[in-house]
Structure 1
Amino acid sequence: MNIERFKVFSKVAQFKSFTRAADELFMTQPAISKNIKLIEDFYGVVLFRRIGKHIELTEAGNKLLQFANEILKLADEAKEALNEDKLQSEEKIVISSGSTVGVYILPEVLKSFLKKYPKVQFTIEISNAQKILDEFVDGSIDVGIIGALVHKTSLKYLPFISEELKLIVAKHHPWCQKSEISASDLKSQPFFLREKGSGLRYVVEERLRKAGIELDNVTEMPNNEAIVKLVEAGLGVSIVSEYAIAEDLELNRVKTVKIKNLDLHRYFYLLYNEEKMSSKTFNNFIDYLRTNCTGKKPLK
């Protein structure tokens, strides 16, 4: 049975009129009549009876209408599902994030999302917070995840996951014997910081500045891994992401030391292109991040 005939039958039943069904479907009335006759011949029943100038469904017609409408509904759902599958395979989402999120957090987030939406394609870029904000403004990325709001912005953003930054030292450093140090003690040590524009650097300098501390002996490094290696070698200390040192702590490569009365809690922030929310794929991804990640620890 041709599904188009069920559409004709459903419209005639809806309007109780061959003429109105023909207008709705952009068909001639003889074509409508022919389709109804073919259905009646196929099932061996009469679907409509005339009552004066009107038509009404017969008992058989009412029974068939239930099945016809269900078949049409399933056909529409199948088409929508296949179209969505096709769109997923064609659509690419460009994400730019800092190294902490990009290396230690985003892979698990995407792994979980792709289990549900396996055909979505992603391009991942690693950059610092300042560059990500610039890329977002010029429209070259769809989603940005930054470790700090490095300057006042009118852009809409959401708090993403949060973390506690940690002071790390070499495992034989004298501070390992202390339960905590004061922020002023940091001035006596060589200190490794990320490059300017980094969200991590912005947060560390901001918190130290609030504590009245300005570091004297600072060396800039381009990534977290290099900083951890230098600290491990005993060449200085640093404040880094807890996510970036999880493995190093487990393997006893470095130690953490508490800093008295210094708030090292921070959020990562999610920026996204609202114009792309008309895309179902993109909408699904942002909803997934909102539901599973905002204000929480990353997925495991």
Structure 2
Amino acid sequence: MRFTLRQLQVFVAVAQHESVSRAAQSLALSQSATSTSLTELERQSDCQLFDRAGKRLALNALGRQLLPEAVALLDQAREIERLLGGKSGYGSLNVGATLTVGNYLATLLIGSFMQQHPECRVKLQVHNTAHVVQQIAHYELDLGLIEGDCQHPDIEVQPWVEDELVVFCAPQHPLARRGSASLEELTHEAWILREQGSGTRLTFDQAMRHHPRNLNIRLELEHTEAIKRAVESGLGIGCISRLALRDAFRRGSLMPVETPQLDLRRQFYFIWHRQKYQTAAMREFLEQCRALTAGVSRSDQIVLPSIV
């Protein structure tokens, strides 16, 4: 063969970072060694894989074609290395999750997975939907658990479990006594909402799209816990997943406000790159996620695993 696995590893890192220096840092190599490895790969193959614009390197058509093949080959090589080293089980798993899934489901799911497979190195990154989709598209994650829409042509999307948002308020709020509100009443309230780009905000905006009156959005926050604290403090009303609110509803620190005129249902999804090699760890983790939600109609009904 005209290439080595190290050369492919350098190629993938440069493709992901679009920079030799950042790729070198991620691989713990010197910048000169990284640059030499990439140059040798292109010279030996008599081809160019990047378009150079100053210090920025962008994949050309051939590079984009090579990238998924290189990522898959490196994943398989790592599994072969483990087998040759006498190590059974799983190597590593890099999961991305959106905030609701990450904070209220993924951490416990990963904890349960690691208890069963302590040899596996697992990483969890929690971001909004747009960021997780971008990471999957650039092969920076093995698997994504998201709560928003994904229309990326290179990404496989599979439904997982249904979720539902709910409008909520503080116990002392006038809507708490009634337990429900009309659209007209909602337009007069101050709102504490998630930021643009989050799956939660997308679902809320879609539910309100047929009701064009402007809302009084007092705060936009990136974290569900911050929204809950702001609503508890009486700054306004909010709308996030029932899953994130079920403990607060049980305690009575927050109160649901039913909105029959709004359809706040949505879906949680699994996503991965269509050309990503599915490792044994990916397949096992997906099976555990599906087993957890078997027979469950909505996310807040999930019985979460206990981590001892």
Query: Is 1:86 equivalent to 2:70 in the alignment?
Result: no
Going from structure 1 to structure 2, the CA distance change for 1:152 and 1:210 (only over 3 Å counts) comes to farther
| Matched position secondary structure for 2:131 | helix
1:192 is displaced (CA, Å) by: 0.8
1:295 is displaced (CA, Å) by: 7.9
Which position in structure 2 is the counterpart of 1:27?
none
Give % identity. 23
Query: Is 1:216 equivalent to 2:190 in the alignment?
Result: no
1:275 is displaced (CA, Å) by: 4.5
Which position in structure 2 is the counterpart of 1:200?
200
The answer (yes or no) to whether the contact 1:95–1:141 under 8 Å persists in 2 is yes
Task: Give 5+ residue unaligned stretches, structure 1.
Answer: 1-79
Q: Where in structure 2 are the equivalents of 1:7-86 lying within 5 Å? A: 83=83, 86=87
Cα distance in 2 between the residues matched to 1:125 and 1:295: 28
Cα distance in 2 between the residues matched to 1:159 and 1:121: 26
Going from structure 1 to structure 2, the CA distance change for 1:187 and 1:119 (only over 3 Å counts) comes to same
Query: Is 1:118 equivalent to 2:89 in the alignment?
Result: no
Cα distance in 2 between the residues matched to 1:115 and 1:274: 29
The answer (yes or no) to whether the contact 2:128–2:198 under 8 Å persists in 1 is yes
TM-score, normalisation: structure 1: 0.66
Which position in structure 2 is the counterpart of 1:13?
none
1:153 is displaced (CA, Å) by: 2.7
Cα distance in 1 between the residues matched to 2:147 and 2:193: 14
Deviations 1:55-96 (A, max 9, x none): xxxxxxxxxxxxxxxxxxxxxxxxx9x94982535x211111
Count residues in correspondence: 218
1:176 is displaced (CA, Å) by: 1.6
| Matched position secondary structure for 1:234 | coil
Cα distance in 2 between the residues matched to 1:179 and 1:237: 13
Larger radius of gyration: 1
Going from structure 1 to structure 2, the CA distance change for 1:282 and 1:217 (only over 3 Å counts) comes to closer
TM-score, normalisation: structure 2: 0.64
Going from structure 1 to structure 2, the CA distance change for 1:294 and 1:93 (only over 3 Å counts) comes to farther
1:255 is displaced (CA, Å) by: 0.7
The residue type paired with residue 110 of structure 2 is L
Cα distance in 1 between the residues matched to 2:278 and 2:243: 34
Q: Where in structure 2 are the equivalents of 1:82-231 lying within 5 Å? A: 83=83, 86-88=87-89, 91-149=91-149, 152-154=151-153, 155-231=155-231
1:216 is displaced (CA, Å) by: 3.2
| Matched position secondary structure for 2:215 | coil
The answer (yes or no) to whether the contact 1:162–1:268 under 8 Å persists in 2 is yes
Deviations 1:237-283 (A, max 9, x none): 01111121222222221111101221111111110245454522322
